Amino acid sequence: MKLTPRQTEVLELVRSHLEVTGFPPTRAEIAEALGFRSVNAAEEHLRALAKKGAIELLKGRSRGIRLLLPGKPDEGMPVVGRVAAGSPILAEEHIEERYPFSRELFHPPADYLLRVSGASMRDVGIMDGDLLAVHRTSEAHNGQIVVARLDDEVTVKRFHRDALHRHLVVLLPENDDFEPIRVDLREQHLVIEGLGVGVLRQELEVSNRFRRT
């Protein structure tokens, strides 16, 4: 994929705007940042980038710009749906599709996207049906949002380990309608599958921050 210098500038602006703010720029923001006389010039460059496969333009949205990864159709971050008990989270049968989205938009980089089921993390903006960007790791610190496997069931919660009794862990929801899950590591098997590092809304907007409402 060969881009003109101006197209490269526009693409890098879209990338940097996503990294800093969590969502794509508007046409007006692109025009202002790059000194275009009108938003039409920004639109023309975006359409050229879309034709070359660098981005996808989503109709009817002022920020409807989606970055695409170059490469084969089966490349990209895997989208994991329902996870069967006892099987690896990235087993092929769990992968619904592969989403052409740059893992580097998140920090630390995301390794896969987990489709959220339920409203237990609603108050930090993780909604039912959203895609949670997950960085694979087996380590977690208090206060981090984790993907945890507890006795073969996978859940998304906020992690807290008792400072005095290290065998006690609480998986905290972010919704008062749900109860905390208390775990005694002497009796139950808990595995941290990864950290939540961002969320893709159903509208395809990106957030790399979790906020309490």
In the chain, the amino acid numbered 122 is R
Catalytic residue among 51, 87, 157, 207: 157
Residue 126 sits in the same domain as residue 56? no
Residue 81 sits in the same domain as residue 110? yes
Residue 86 · residue 111 · CB < 8 Å: no
**Rounded CA separation 78/91 (Å):** 10
Picking from 39, 67, 95, the residue at the C-terminal end of a domain is 67
> 6 is written with which tokens?
């101006």
112-144 residues labelled b (16+ CB within 10 A) or e (exposed): bbbbbeeebbbbbbbeeebbbbbbbeeebeeeb
- Which SS3 state, helix, strand or coil, does residue 137 take? coil
Q: How far is CA 71 from the centre of its chain?
A: 20
Residue 170 sits in the same domain as residue 148? yes
CATH number at residue 107: 2.10.109.10
Q: What is the pLDDT of residues 194-211, one digit of tens each?
A: 999 998 875 555 556 565
Residue 63 sits in the same domain as residue 115? no
Residue 51 sits in the same domain as residue 127? no
Q: Which of 101, 21, 112 is nearest to 56 (CA)?
A: 101
User: pTM of the entire structure?
Assistant: 0.62
Per-residue pLDDT at 162: 95
Q: What is the pLDDT of residues 156-190, one digit of tens each?
A: 999 999 999 999 999 999 999 999 999 999 999 99
Residue 152 sits in the same domain as residue 94? yes
Tell me whether residue 9 is in a domain: yes
CATH number at residue 24: 1.10.10.10
Residue 18 sits in the same domain as residue 120? no
pLDDT greater than 70 at residue 124: yes
Residue 193 sits in the same domain as residue 165? yes
Q: What is the pLDDT of residues 37-95, one digit of tens each?
A: 999 999 999 999 988 888 888 877 778 888 775 444 445 788 898 766 656 776 666 78
- Cα-Cα-Cα-Cα dihedral sign, residues 65, 211, 107, 181: negative
Residue 127 sits in the same domain as residue 39? no
Residue 114 sits in the same domain as residue 132? yes
Which residues, in sequence order, are bridge partners of residue 171? 159, 181
Catalytic, 120? Answer yes
Tell me whether residue 72 is in a domain: no
How many domains in the chain?
2
Tell me whether residue 88 is in a domain: yes
Residue 93 sits in the same domain as residue 143? yes
Catalytic residue among 38, 59, 102, 120: 120
Residue 183 sits in the same domain as residue 126? yes
For residue 196, what are the domain limits?
77-207
